[in-house]
Chain A
Amino acid sequence: MTDTVQTTDAGQRLRAIGGVLMMSLGPVLMAFLLSGVILLILKVNPFSYYGYVFGRGLLSPTGVQATLTRMGPLLLIAAALIVAFRAGIWNLGGDAQFLVGAVFCAAATPLMAPHVPIWLGLLAGAAISAIFGALWALVPAFLRAYQGLNEIITTLMMNFLGISLASVLVKLVFLDPATTVPQTRTLAVEDRLPTLFGTTISSGLIIGLVAILAVHFMMTRTAFGLRLRVVGGNASAAVHAGLAVPLLTIAVFAISGGLAGLSGGVAILGQYGNVRADWNPAYSLSIVPLVFLARFNGFAAIGFVGLFSILSIGAESAARRTGVPNYFTLVTIGILLVMLAVSEYYSAKRQKAGA
């Protein structure tokens, strides 16, 4: 008796684990497959393309260090998105929050650095980036909280505004007078975030990991996180439960924008040292599908961000060798997002058929 119960239990658990794996990895595999077909149409051997991608992004020593360094800001973006999405808020304005944070950080930190201890300069720089990122998120926050305006549209509009504003600031206001190239003053290498264990990996990676785990536990294990999830799940129920929905909405935007801004700060303090005119890595919209793929789970997000980091570092080198431009990564991400939604569709269908 007990034996059969146990086997069905184990079988069910296996099937559940298999289901989760299929739900997460299935779309990834399908996306690679379809992207490979597109490469074939472009008359590029998909195996050699992905060979270059993973050879550079994962297997070469300098490539791995670049991949891990890039993961720092990307993880912070993922953390920003997880807070917002779990609270039911579509913050799609991460690109501008990132850039605005980066620009103000790059403007202020090199001026402070010679006069204060390194740790204080870095701390102040990080704080500035987070504050300006949060400020940039506040306009959509108020519109959503008090006017009920859909934040998808407003954050996208603030994206276009913020990207242009960043380049205006770099070209006209925070210009480094010592160079002819339009860019901000450069933070000296010795004043930047320390690298890890004698490698070139920036300690921004640690900041990113801490942030995403903190966000994960805040959302799943604290009362504040529960309140946010209630607001996200059913806003009118949250009102009936006596939650201050407008205030919570603004808090979510501020945290999310702050983390996105901090991501820009970490990219500057750890890696670039300055902002050049028209610099816009546009990480945020690419991370959106990954956060969905991770089902808003912080641990899973770390894995997917790692994969994306490999892809984006690797694609830069593959672009030079195979002549497939970087745009190809965008196509892959688009396909991935569609595949994800399709897999969700079939799992919902299966569940309904089972019930």
Chain B
Amino acid sequence: MTLFTDTFLIALIAGIAAAGVPLLLAGLGEQLSEKAGVLNVGIEGMMLGGAYLGFYIAWATESTGLGFLGGILGGMLVASLMVLFCVRMGLNQIVIGIALTLGAEGATALLHHVQFSRLYPRLSDVATWRIPGLADIPIIGPALFDREPVVYLAVALVPILVYVYRRTHLGLAVQAAGDKPAALDSAGQSVLAIRSFAVLGCGAMVGLGGAFMSIVGAGVFVPFMTHGNGFIGIVLAMLARGRPLWVLFGAVLFGACLSAATALQVAGVDIPTDVVQMLPFVAVMLVLLIAGRNAKLPAALGAAYVRGER
């Protein structure tokens, strides 16, 4: 088939990485938060916070590096509200999550309107890091090993998190905070501190994912641009059953759905944009239909921890 030219394949694989990185970061972030017992429905809002602040700082300072830091900060800002209301005050995590998502949608759109009115300034291309040797492999090389540093960072987070969860005291404490917080408390560790750490860590990863969407993916900030990517992150975390590696597989799968449709459009196959936008969600629902029964969540997920209460 003439469709499968080298350029098409490179675009396809590069597209998987571009679409998959935000999903991967969102999934890993949600996983961290859920392991510690906080169901983070506000993740979409954190992603938007990261997308906006990341874009704004990259635009204002003309430095993508600072932009990514801004994205991390933006995600953590929204996450700090989650910490205050859900971890410290123990309010309903679902209500606050929806509130943060709605509030962040409105706030970022409003800020964008105040800052840029109806203009959508575009950022220049982000510099890539070329990995010598690997980048010379045909097709895969230019698609995967000549990429923005954030792509490598996101993938590197997977083994790092596996190590943290399996081998470190911190990882054990995070999982105890989600499975049996009272036991963690008896062991002399603060459940609230561990959960706060997990939610802020989630905000940082998710915010970085949002910044990746606005700075690398689109090059612009558009209101509501995360378009459910944060929610797909929740699905990834549910299906991964606590394994970071499975989040990576899921992100590749859903990234492929997004990328395939876009690549086909580029290749001249006529698919309406609305259908393209449906594909990842169709894939999510199909996977949930097939594998949904196996989704596993921590025992104390969604329950606020109050010391001395049973």
Contact = CB atoms under 8 A, between A and B. Distances in A.
Question: What 5 pairs between A and B have smallest CB-CB spacing?
Answer: A334-B103, A330-B106, A337-B99, A331-B106, A327-B109
Nearest to A337: B99
Given A288-B98, A337-B102, A158 B285 contact: yes
A42 B235 CA distance: 37
Interface in B232-265: 232, 234-235, 238
A324 B113 CA distance: 9
Contacts, number: 138
Given A143-B292, A168-B274, A331-B107, A161 B99 contact: no
B90 A345 contact: yes
Interface string A260-304: 000000000000000000000000011011001000000000000
A168 B91 contact: no
Nearest to B227: A160
Given A147-B292, A168-B275, A327-B109, A139 B285 contact: yes
Contact of B91 (A90, A324, A345): A345
B103 to A, nearest CB: 2
A341 B231 contact: no
B110 A328 contact: yes
Contacts of B90: 345
Interface of A: 42, 90, 92, 139, 143, 147-150, 152-154, 156-158, 160-161, 164-165, 167-168, 171-172, 285-286, 288-289, 292, 324-325, 327-335, 337-338, 340-342, 344-345
Most chain B C-beta atoms within 10 Å of own C-beta, residue among A158, A325, A332, A334: A334
Given A161-B281, A328-B106, A340 B95 contact: yes
Most chain B C-beta atoms within 10 Å of own C-beta, residue among A92, A338, A342: A338
A147 B293 contact: yes
Contacts of B99: 289, 333-335, 337-338, 341
Contact of B228 (A160, A165, A168, A327): A160
B223 interface: yes
Give the interface residue-count category, chain B: 35 or more
A120 B94 CA distance: 42
Contact of B110 (A147, A167, A327): A327
A338 B96 contact: yes
B228 A164 contact: no
Given A337-B95, A338-B103, A342-B89, A153 B231 contact: yes
Contact of A156 (B91, B231, B274): B231
B85 A168 contact: no
B7 interface: no
Contacts of B127: none
Contacts of A342: 85, 89, 91
Contacts of B102: 285-286, 289, 330, 333-334, 337
Contacts of A147: 288, 292-293
Contact of A341 (B85, B107, B274): B85
Contacts of B282: 161
A160 B103 contact: no
Given A288-B98, A338-B103, A345-B90, A331 B110 contact: yes
Nearest to A167: B274
Contacts of A143: 288-289, 292
Contacts of A160: 227-228, 231, 277-278, 281
A152 B103 CA distance: 18
B95 A161 contact: no
Given A153-B288, A165-B274, A342-B91, 11 more contacts: A150-B238, A150-B295, A154-B285, A157-B232, A157-B285, A164-B277, A331-B103, A331-B106, A334-B103, A342-B89, A344-B92
B290 to A, nearest CB: 10
A285 B41 CA distance: 13
A250 to B, nearest CB: 16
B238 A156 contact: no
B60 interface: no
30 contacts: A42-B114, A143-B288, A153-B231, A157-B281, A158-B285, A160-B277, A161-B278, A164-B281, A168-B274, A168-B275, A289-B99, A289-B102, A324-B110, A325-B113, A327-B109, A328-B110, A329-B106, A330-B102, A330-B105, A332-B106, A333-B106, A334-B104, A334-B106, A335-B99, A338-B81, A338-B99, A341-B85, A341-B96, A344-B92, A345-B89
A308 to B, nearest CB: 13
Given A149-B295, A172-B272, A327 B106 contact: yes
